[in-house]
Structure 1
Amino acid sequence: MRNDDVIQSIRHMLDLNDHEIAHILKLRGYKPHRGEVAHIFKNQHLPDEDKGEDCSHVLMGHFLDGLIYYKRGKSKKHPPRPIKTPITNNIVLKKLRVAFKLREKEIHDILERGGFSISKHEMSALFRRKGHDNYRECGDQILRYFLKGLTERVRN
């Protein structure tokens, strides 16, 4: 899934404006250039092939870590980890799980609410480390259903 689509979905979910998106990025130490945040939302209603260049994986990594700080606060026990790129759908799921303090049952319910049925074993495979025997790559469809279900949960 495109990084800008994920950020747009989270923006809608939490009802954030450009200033708040920039604040989330700054929480993790990223200083967005003038117009960089606005560029993420510039072509949001166009089809994927007409949107142009996606935002960088570095920006996305800083945004997801900043979202954790925004929702949970900074921890003095855990210093910030370096940003690993590229940002995959599995990483997005993991970061959102941490930011929203979600447990396995809640994640399963969110996927069901979003309209996607998945077994608990398949779901746990999405959170495994790459290279693990039971690791499963998260497809765009699963992430879209998860974001849809999480949006319904947060906004209701």
Structure 2
Amino acid sequence: MITNDVLRRVRFALQLNDTKMLAIFASVDNEMSVDFLHSIMAKEDAEGFVFCRDSVLSLFLDGLIYEKRGRKEGAVPVILPAKAVLSNNDILRKLRIALNFKDEDMLNALKLANFPVSKGELSALFRKSDHRNYKPCGDQLLRRFIDGITVQFRGTKPSTDAVEAE
């Protein structure tokens, strides 16, 4: 999944408007214009589309954690190095922290999206990458998880058109 798509889907799932999005970015010391926000939220084939770098998505997810859970004392946002890549496992982990989800909540969200996984498969996604039971998170699992939280928070399964219009 490209980072723009993750950003769009999370925004839709959590019903975040422009003002809220800008406040989340500002909470991690990343001031952003409305025009730039709209350009990274645009579809790939839309006029004005700008690719959202992994560092921007990482800052957004950190800001979402601050928004939902509060800022830890002395915590500073971590800016990814220029060539660093945010893996699907990292995105899933940050969403889990922001939403304060336990294993059962994660499994329930995946079940709501008709993508059930076992508790063992889920725990493998949160292991360190050098652990022998580590499993990389695929695009489909991340997409379905976001679909599941959309059902949970909005009450309906997202359609592609709805995510684009938001």
Q: TM-score range by the shorter chain?
A: 0.7 to 0.9
SS in structure 2 at match of 1:35: helix
Letter in 2 for 1:4: N
CA deviations over 1:29-68 (Å, ceiling 9, x no partner): 1122562101022226x59xx9965201111110000000
Q: 1:82 aligns with which of 64, 78, 83?
A: 78
Structure 1 contact 40–55 (Cα < 8 Å) conserved? yes
Structure 1 contact 3–60 (Cα < 8 Å) conserved? yes
C-alpha displacement of 1:81: 5.1
Q: Provide the aligned C-alpha RMSD in A.
A: 2.1
Structure 1 contact 111–149 (Cα < 8 Å) conserved? yes
Tell me what 2:162 maps to.
none
2:17 counterpart of 1:17? yes
Structure 1 unaligned segments of length 5 or more: list them.
none
- TM-score, length-normalised on structure 1? 0.88
Structure 2 contact 3–57 (Cα < 8 Å) conserved? yes
Alignment of 1:75-154 (within 5 A): 75-76=72-73, 79-80=75-76, 82-84=78-80, 85-154=84-153
Taking the aligned partners of 1:13 and 1:31, their CA distance within structure 2 comes to 23
C-alpha displacement of 1:22: 1.4
- TM-score, length-normalised on structure 2? 0.83
**1:51–1:94 distance in 2 versus 1, CA, 3 Å:** farther
Identity %: 34
